[in-house]
Structure 1
Amino acid sequence: MTDRNYSTQPTVSAEKARQGEIILRTRTQRIIFFGGLVAIVVFGALLQFVHLS
């Protein structure tokens, strides 16, 4: 019989799981990250514009 409560994943406390840190070491990583944020804003504005038209 198998133990259904057995987990192969490590257990992490809530304190350690909170507030992850984004590490952008290279210029390319920063460009891609901030470009993605800008793309989300532009896409949202475009959807709003299309919806109101």
Structure 2
Amino acid sequence: MNDTDPQHSRTGGHQRPTISAQDARGGEIILRTRRRRTIFIAGLVGFVLLAVVLALAGLV
């Protein structure tokens, strides 16, 4: 094992699944855990609330 190989040093020697460039550009959002879904939806709600507050304040 090469100690300078970033893939092995970051993951402790375990390889992560490789995603092809075509699959990565697919635009599909994969939220596998409840925590990730909650964070994603909270971010969307926060963005909408920010837009509403800025619109009401006359800044947009």
TM-score tier after normalising by the smaller chain length: 0.5 to 0.7
Q: Which of 37, 43, 46 is 1:39 aligned to? A: 46
Bigger Rg over Cα: 1
User: What is the rounded CA distance, in whole Å, between the counterparts of 2:55 and 2:33 in structure 1?
Assistant: 34
Code of the residue aligned with 1:43 in structure 2: it is L
Match of 1:48 in 2: 55
Structure 1 stretches of 4+ with a deviation exceeding 3 A read none
Provide TM-score, normalisation by structure 2. Answer: 0.54
Aligned residues: 38
Match of 2:33 in 1: 26
Structure 1 alignment gaps of length 5 or more: 1-11
User: What is the rounded CA distance, in whole Å, between the counterparts of 1:51 and 1:23 in structure 2?
Assistant: 36
